[in-house]
Amino acid sequence: MSAGMNGALNLWPIGNCQISALIDRDGAFVWGCLPRVDGPPAFSALLDDGLHPDGQGFWAIELEGCTKTTQRYLRNTPILETRHEDDAGNAIVVTDFCPRFHRHGRIYRPVAYIRIVRPVSGSPRIRVRLRPTRDWARREVERTCGSNHIRYMLGHMTLRLSTSAPIGWIEDEQVFRVERPLHFFLGPDEGFDGNIATTAEEMLDLTIREWRHWVRGLAIPLEWQEAVIRSAITLKLCQHEETGAIVAALTTSIPEHAGSGRNWDYRFCWIRDAYYTTQALNRLGALDVLESYLEYLRNIVDNARSGHIQPLYGVGGEARLEERIEAGLAGYRGMGPVRVGNQAYAQMQHDAYGQIVLSNVQAFFDQRLYRMAGEEDFRALERVGERAWLSYDQADSGLWELRGRFHVHTYCAAMCWAACDRLAKAAHHLGLHDRQTVWQERADRMGRVIIDAAWREDTQRMSATFDGDLLDASLIQLLDLRFLAPDDPRFLGTLRAVEHGLRRGSHMLRYADEDDFGLPQSAFNICTFWLIEALHATGRHSDARDLFEEMLARRTPAGLLSEDTNPHTGELWGNYPQTYSLVGLINCATLLSKPWSAVR
């Protein structure tokens, strides 16, 4: 298997907003967690890399003698087609997807994968190897067979493969000829009603139509349409639609750079990442993601003790995400550890208060929403605002989640300022003038304190922390928050300093100071996109466009990005696909594109 064998993260996500899978360049499932994105992996080969010599944690459909494999998504869908050919003219096409469509007045998104194998030329012979893992590869998977199915006991659930292919040949991993389309449905341990071929083909057609209907509603820019659409679809896949939570990525433990030990579990909902995701999709008019996420957020706020908001939660709103190491898997390309859970849930990261308010504030103004926010919602948000007011000048772990140091971070303070500033605007809209006065006075005072504490007159720049004179790419976000204007000398000085200190060619580091794991070596992709936005806003339009084109060229064959890039080799690292990075791509494309009036 080419599990972690592909250093370029050449992986193709499929999914239905309940489950997902990553398919490698050979067309094999190498990552997929059940019954939801933060569950145990049924497909874990991405993080195995030879620890189990016989191979496990994958689902491969292999053409005998294959010499060429090509892959593509069906247009405007997350449905993958993989074509396998040999030198004798034999070829098959495998179509992979997770069903998702409207049925009985609601979205049908089962915990199920469908694979369809079609012979397209010659007399192709294939072998099917389905070897799921159990309990993070710590235990063997038992299986039983029926006349048209195989059951796989994974401990926390049982999967059933129903298929029109010969069951005995699948069980024995025998090579056989494909003379007709073959259909595979891997899902719940239930009998398959109806004809599997007819049902799978119908589900494929309905799923294609569902995704293309969703894409049709996007307000995309004129340029870079394919890149924007693919990013939007993938961000949608990162939403757990049942609750509205948005995960930071579909994977865990892909290192930030080779051998770094910076291996984290990103299959949870960070308030910060989800804010940026909904902000980007709002620009495309994908209000369904925002509406679902706001429902999730309202429950988080309701359950928050005294208004305290954690940096992240489980997709079901779970507050405790205890971190542990799973030794049954060697890690991506053998670079462990494999971490499950994320201890950052226990950190203090005060910017979350700002992101809660900023995510919600649109609901007070946007009349397109099914449920607009009212005074009751405002009163609930005020509890979050109170925490922002009390916390903005207090030390925390910051947005980069430092585990061993605490500072008052300028970015977090500015996010708290934004919470109070936007509450004042919402109060004005609701006619609550006394509350508007309270929140505006607080925002004004906070703004003065932040400038006094973070501005460094001798270096003519803002510091990333209230103490010292540190550089941090998040200072660029003072522009997006409207804390500083693009022509403000304080912002221009800060931008010059950040670009000089953190830019490495066409890459941006988060920071260049030692942290808990030493000096960071990888560039953080979202920071490069932040730089592009700032270059454009300050009049360096051609520089912004050139840098954006470079970022587009770094995408995987699937059109996606991970979290990090090696600034020396250009190799992608970090969890994948990363919502942050795709947000940056969408934001910059909408900002830099020529208007539609250019072609109309």
- At the top level of CATH, the class of 220-592 is mainly alpha
**Cβ-count burial 432-467 (b if 16+ within 10 Å, e if not):** beebbebbbebbeebbeebeebbbeeeeebbbbbbe
Q: How far is CA 196 from CA 29, 106, 182, 210, 541, in A?
A: 21, 22, 9, 21, 54
Q: Residue 291's closest CA among 381, 383, 384, 366? A: 366
Residue 143's identity, in one-letter code, is: R
Three-state SS sequence of 449-460: HHHHHHEECCCC
pLDDT string in tens for the chain (600-residue length):
443 333 469 999 999 999 999 999 999 999 999 999 999 999 999 999 755 556 899 999 999 999 999 999 999 999 999 999 999 999 999 999 999 999 999 999 999 999 999 999 999 999 999 999 999 999 999 999 988 899 999 999 999 999 999 999 999 999 999 999 999 999 999 988 889 999 999 999 999 999 999 999 999 999 999 999 999 999 999 999 999 999 999 999 999 998 888 999 999 999 999 999 999 999 999 999 999 999 999 999 998 876 789 999 999 999 999 999 999 999 999 999 999 999 999 999 999 999 999 999 999 999 999 999 999 999 999 999 999 999 999 999 999 988 778 899 999 999 999 999 999 999 999 999 999 999 999 999 999 999 999 999 999 999 999 999 999 999 999 999 999 999 999 999 999 999 999 999 999 999 887 666 567 778 999 999 999 999 999 999 999 999 999 999 999 999 999 999 999 999 999 999 999 999 999 999 999 999 999 998
Phi-psi region of 275 (alpha: psi -120 to 50; beta: other; left: phi over 0): alpha
Within the chain, all domains assigned CATH 1.50.10.10 are found at 220-592
Exposure of 179 by Cβ count < 10 A (0-12 exposed, 13-18 middle, 19+ buried)? exposed
- If one counts every other C-beta atom within 10 angstroms of the C-beta of residue 527, the result is 24
Residues, the chain: 600
Secondary structure tally for the chain: helices H, strands E: 14, 30
Copy the structure tokens of residue 65.
């003698």
- Predicted confidence at residue 5, as pLDDT, reads 34
Rounded CA-CA distance 503/524 in Å is 11
- Predicted confidence at residue 112, as pLDDT, reads 98
Helices 375-391 and 433-454: crossing angle, nearest 10°? 30
Residue 247's identity, in one-letter code, is: V
- Predicted confidence at residue 3, as pLDDT, reads 38
Quote helix, strand, coil % in the chain, to nearest 5. 35, 20, 40
Q: How far is CA 32 from CA 183, 249, 561, in A?
A: 20, 12, 18
For tokens 């433990």, name the residue: 253
Q: How far is CA 8 from CA 254, 262, 545, 569, in A?
A: 12, 18, 24, 11
> What are the beta bridge partners of residue 108?
101
Q: Do residues 47 and 177 make contact, with C-beta atoms less than 8 angstroms apart?
A: no
Rounded CA-CA distance 590/536 in Å is 12
Q: Please tell me the number of Cα atoms within 13 Å of 410 on its side-chain side.
A: 31
Q: Do residues 13 and 294 make contact, with C-beta atoms less than 8 angstroms apart?
A: no
Provide the terminal-to-terminal Cα distance of the chain, rounded to the nearest Å. Answer: 49
Q: Residue 429's closest CA among 483, 363, 330, 385? A: 363
- Predicted confidence at residue 192, as pLDDT, reads 84
